[in-house]
Amino acid sequence: MTPKTRQDASSSLATPSFQIDRVVSELRTLRLRSLEDRQRRDRPPKLPSRKILVGIADGLRAVLFPNRLGLPDLTDESVDYYVGHMLDVTLRDLLVQVRRELRFVSGLEATSNAGIADREQAAAIIRAFAKRLPHVRSLLESDIQAAYEGDPAARSIDEVLVCYPGITAITHYRLAHELHCLGAPLIARMISEIAHSATGIEIHPGAKIGGSFFIDHGTGVVIGETAIIGEHVRLYQAVTLGAKRFPVDEHGALVKGNLRHPIVEDDVVIYAGATILGRITIGRGSTIGGNVWLTRSVPPGSNVSQAQTRNEVFDQGAGI
């Protein structure tokens, strides 16, 4: 190969053609086709930012537990100042994201008269949310205490707070549940999914969960939108509280919003791998064993386990 040939080959390798203009054009066509009307094509409303919501969730956790999840050098004199400052900054950021959700749902531009209305609605949501934070803190204290008392490996309350993925998921859920109930379900779902990505625990913000809730280990736990969980309930890893079936309407579309997930009453323990499906009730004080598949209600005080394992020897084809 001559020097000129080598130079040409090197130049070709250094500047490959990716046909970017063609890809951009095809993506634009698909994007515009997916938008519903001219207004959304010209100026599609912005979704809330997942990246910003990660920071908001971290800020709210620091507000609730400043001495453990806030700045490392806080003193008794500075902690209230820190909480007030962090709360102000975080709520202002959250206000912007709630307004984005409201505009996205309504499809209206911020410059219209409706922009003033959604600003007022967003402010009302944030004010109501802020008032609920002491209640959220109280619930989380009961959850942390339940984890400490329920896990012999836990050496301190602080260890539970900063190390346990179940507490991380429950904290995000309790914040998200308040926003879901106040009229920001998209942001609520995004905050729950942030925890899901980090912990492997999926809790829909629409679920209703009482205090002293403990998820041990936690990976693979799924709690559906309409599930109801009482006080002092304990779940282990890979437990599913799901739907048994998904009814459709006359057009074949899924019916949304129906009550399709279990009710778990107070003082229930559900061990690893159990799958509980449908709008059934697990009675108070029941124990559901590992890997149980349950689609019927059980009365209070029940003890449900797998069928006893058979251990038999089959000689010369016996039993086949």
User: Sorting pLDDT into bands at 50, 70 and 90, what band is 173?
Assistant: very high
Helix 50-64 vs helix 113-150: crossing angle, to nearest 10: 50
Domain coordinates of the chain in residue numbers?
Answer: 43-200, 220-308
**Three-state secondary structure readout of 73-124:** CCCCCCHHHHHHHHHHHHHHHHHHHHHHHHHHHHCCCCCCHHHHHHHHHHHH
Question: 204 near 193, Cβ under 8 Å?
Answer: no
pLDDT of residue 248: 81
Residue pair 280/295 in contact (Cβ under 8 Å)? The answer is yes
β-pairing, 287-288 vs 269-270, is: parallel
Q: Homologous superfamily of 43-200 in CATH?
A: serine acetyltransferase, domain 1 (1.10.3130.10)
CATH fold match for the domains 43-200 and 220-308:
no
Residue 222's contacts (CB-CB under 8 Å, 6 or more residues apart) are 202, 239, 240, 241, 242
Instruction: Answer whether residue 315 shows pLDDT above 70.
Output: no
pLDDT digits (tens, 9 = 90+) for 277-303: 999 999 999 999 999 999 999 999 999
The pLDDT value given to residue 17 = 77
Comparing CA positions, the residue from 239, 99, 122, 223 lying closest to residue 173 is: 223
Mean pLDDT of 65-93: 94
Q: Residue 56: exposed, middle, or buried by beta-carbon count in 10 A (0-12, 13-18, 19+)?
A: buried
Residue 124: how many CB atoms within 10 A of its CB? Answer: 13
pTM for the predicted model, two decimal places: 0.85
Which residue in this structure is represented by tokens 């086949």? 320
Structure tokens at 45: 């409303």
Across 239-262, average pLDDT: 88
Rounded CA separation 320/317 (Å): 6
Largest CA distance in the chain: 87
Q: What local confidence, expressed as pLDDT, does residue 89 receive? A: 97
Q: Are 262 and 247 in contact (CB under 8 A)?
A: no
- Closest C-alpha to 272, from 247, 238, 318, 310: 238
Amino acid, single-letter form, for residue 86: M
**Neighbour count for residue 106 (Cβ, 10 Å):** 15
> Per CATH, which fold does 220-308 belong to?
UDP N-Acetylglucosamine Acyltransferase; domain 1 (2.160.10)
Dist. CA 120–CA 103, nearest whole Å = 12
Query: Do 205 and 182 meet the contact criterion of CB atoms below 8 Å apart?
Result: no
- pLDDT number for residue 249: 80
Q: Which residues contact 175 (CB under 8 A, 6 or more apart)?
A: 57, 60, 136, 191
How do residues 30-63 score in pLDDT, each as one tens digit?
Answer: 877 776 554 555 566 789 999 999 999 999 999 9
